[in-house]
Structure 1
Amino acid sequence: MKKIFLILLAIVPLSMMGQNIYDIYNVSTSYYQGTAKGMAMGNAMGAVGEDFSSIAINPAGVGLFRKPTLIFTPSILTTYTKSELNGDLATDSKAKLSVNNFGIVGINKSGKRTTTWAIGMNRTNNFNNSIFVDGYNNNNSLIDAYFAEIIANDIYDEKELDYYSPSYIYPLWETYLINFENDGTLTTPVPAGGLRQLKGVSSWGGTNEWTFTSGINFGDKFFLGISINMPYVYSKKITDYKEEFTIEGRDYYWIQEEALATTGWGLNSKFGLIAHPCRWLRIGASIHTPTLYELTDSWKTATVSYLDFGTYEHNIPTSYFSYSMMTPWRANGSLALIFGNFGMITADYEYVDYSTIRIADNEYDYSEYNQFLSQTFKPTMNLRLGTEWRYQNMCFRGGYSFYGSPYGIESSDYRRNALSCGFGYTQHFFTIDFAYVYTLQNHSYNLYSQYTKYYEEVAPNLIVDEKTNIHSLVVSLKLKLY
Structure 2
Amino acid sequence: MKRNSQPRIVVWSVVFSLMTMVAAAQNVGDAVRYSQFEYGGTARNVGVGNTMSSIGADLSAVVSNPAGLGMFRRSEYTVTPSLLSNNTSSRLLSGKGNTTTADTRSAFNIHNFGVVFVTRPRSAKWTNVNFGITINHLANYNRAFNFQGRSRGSLSQRFQELANGGEGIEGFETSLANEASSIYDFDPANDGIYEVDYDLNPKANLLRGQTLFSRGSLSEIGFSVAGNYNDKFSIGFSMNLPSTTYSSEKIYTEKDDSLAAGGAVPYFTDLKYQENLLTRGVGINAKLGIIFKPNQNLRLSAAVHTPTVFAFNDDYTYTLDNNYFSDRREQGDFLGKQAVREGTFSYTQTTPWRIMGGAGLIIGKQGFISTEIEHVNYSSNKFGYKDYQGAEDKVNGEISNQLQSVTNVRIGGELVFSELRIRAGYGVLPSIFQNDDSRSTVISAGIGYRKDDYFLDLAYRRTTTTETYYPYLTQNAPLQEVENKYTFGNVIFTLGVKF
* TM bucket, shorter chain: 0.7 to 0.9
Residue 435 (structure 1) aligns with: 459
User: What CA distance in whole angstroms lies between the structure 2 residues aligned with 1:13 and 1:90?
Assistant: 35
User: What CA distance in whole angstroms lies between the structure 2 residues aligned with 1:390 and 1:96?
Assistant: 32
User: What CA distance in whole angstroms lies between the structure 2 residues aligned with 1:468 and 1:18?
Assistant: 27
Question: Could you tell me how far 1:357 is from its partner in structure 2?
Answer: 1.6
User: What CA distance in whole angstroms lies between the structure 2 residues aligned with 1:354 and 1:311?
Assistant: 43
User: What CA distance in whole angstroms lies between the structure 2 residues aligned with 1:143 and 1:120?
Assistant: 49
Out of 384, 392, 396, the residue aligned to residue 360 of structure 1 is: 384
Q: Does 1:315 align with 2:340?
A: yes
Question: Could you tell me how far 1:439 is from its partner in structure 2?
Answer: 0.3
- Mapped contact 1:18–1:260 kept (Cα < 8 A): no
Residue 197 (structure 2) aligns with: 188
Question: Could you tell me how far 1:188 is from its partner in structure 2?
Answer: 3.0
Within 5 Å, give how 1:44-63 maps onto structure 2. Answer: 44-63=51-70
3-state secondary structure, aligned to 1:186: coil
Q: Does 1:338 align with 2:362?
A: yes
Out of 376, 399, 409, the residue aligned to residue 373 of structure 1 is: 399
Gaps spanning 5+ residues in structure 1: where? Answer: 1-11, 450-454
User: What CA distance in whole angstroms lies between the structure 2 residues aligned with 1:187 and 1:207?
Assistant: 41
3-state secondary structure, aligned to 1:340: coil
Question: Could you tell me how far 1:306 is from its partner in structure 2?
Answer: 4.7
Residue 122 (structure 1) aligns with: 136
- Mapped contact 2:28–2:395 kept (Cα < 8 A): no
Residue 7 (structure 1) aligns with: none
Q: 1:63 to 1:46 in 2, by over 3 A?
A: same
User: What CA distance in whole angstroms lies between the structure 2 residues aligned with 1:402 and 1:277?
Assistant: 28
Question: Could you tell me how far 1:13 is from its partner in structure 2?
Answer: 8.5
Out of 286, 306, 320, the residue aligned to residue 303 of structure 1 is: 320
Query: How many aligned residue pairs are there?
Result: 452
Out of 235, 241, 253, the residue aligned to residue 270 of structure 2 is: 253
Residue 175 (structure 1) aligns with: 180
Q: 1:195 to 1:376 in 2, by over 3 A?
A: closer
3-state secondary structure, aligned to 1:277: coil
Residue 399 (structure 1) aligns with: 425
Within 5 Å, give how 1:35-434 maps onto structure 2. Answer: 35-85=42-92, 86=94, 87-88=97-98, 89-111=100-122, 112=124, 113-137=127-151, 139-153=152-166, 160-161=168-169, 163=170, 165-166=171-172, 168-183=173-188, 184=190, 186-188=195-197, 192=202, 193-246=204-257, 248=259, 252-307=269-324, 309=334, 311-317=336-342, 319-365=343-389, 366-367=392-393, 369-407=395-433, 411-412=436-437, 415-434=439-458
Larger Rg: 1 or 2?
Answer: 2
Structure 2 counterpart of 1:256, which letter? Answer: Y
3-state secondary structure, aligned to 2:60: helix
- Mapped contact 2:77–2:115 kept (Cα < 8 A): yes
- Mapped contact 2:24–2:314 kept (Cα < 8 A): no
Structure 2 counterpart of 1:429, which letter? Answer: D
3-state secondary structure, aligned to 1:72: strand
Residue 456 (structure 1) aligns with: 475
Residue 3 (structure 1) aligns with: none
User: What CA distance in whole angstroms lies between the structure 1 residues aligned with 2:486 and 2:421?
Assistant: 30
Q: 1:27 to 1:310 in 2, by over 3 A?
A: same
Q: Does 1:477 align with 2:477?
A: no
TM-score by length of 1: 0.87
3-state secondary structure, aligned to 2:433: coil
**1:39-73 C-alpha deviation (Å, 9 max, x unpaired):** 11110111011111100000000011121111111
Question: Could you tell me how far 1:479 is from its partner in structure 2?
Answer: 1.0
Residue 3 (structure 2) aligns with: none
**1:201-242 C-alpha deviation (Å, 9 max, x unpaired):** 211112111000011012322211100101112222221111
As a proportion of its length, which structure holds more strand?
1
Q: 1:17 to 1:479 in 2, by over 3 A?
A: same
3-state secondary structure, aligned to 2:294: strand
Question: Could you tell me how far 1:145 is from its partner in structure 2?
Answer: 3.6
Structure 2 counterpart of 1:25, which letter? Answer: V
Q: 1:359 to 1:187 in 2, by over 3 A?
A: closer
User: What CA distance in whole angstroms lies between the structure 1 residues aligned with 2:182 and 2:399?
Assistant: 35
3-state secondary structure, aligned to 1:28: coil
3-state secondary structure, aligned to 1:202: strand
User: What CA distance in whole angstroms lies between the structure 1 residues aligned with 2:482 and 2:317?
Assistant: 24
Question: Could you tell me how far 1:311 is from its partner in structure 2?
Answer: 4.8
- Mapped contact 1:197–1:242 kept (Cα < 8 A): yes
User: What CA distance in whole angstroms lies between the structure 2 residues aligned with 1:151 and 1:218?
Assistant: 67
- Mapped contact 2:24–2:345 kept (Cα < 8 A): no
Q: 1:181 to 1:37 in 2, by over 3 A?
A: same
**1:283-316 C-alpha deviation (Å, 9 max, x unpaired):** 1111111111122222220112455625543211
**1:157-197 C-alpha deviation (Å, 9 max, x unpaired):** xxx52x2x33x233334334444324547353897523211
- Mapped contact 1:436–1:474 kept (Cα < 8 A): yes
- Mapped contact 1:412–1:442 kept (Cα < 8 A): no
Q: 1:342 to 1:205 in 2, by over 3 A?
A: same
User: What CA distance in whole angstroms lies between the structure 1 residues aligned with 2:442 and 2:136?
Assistant: 19
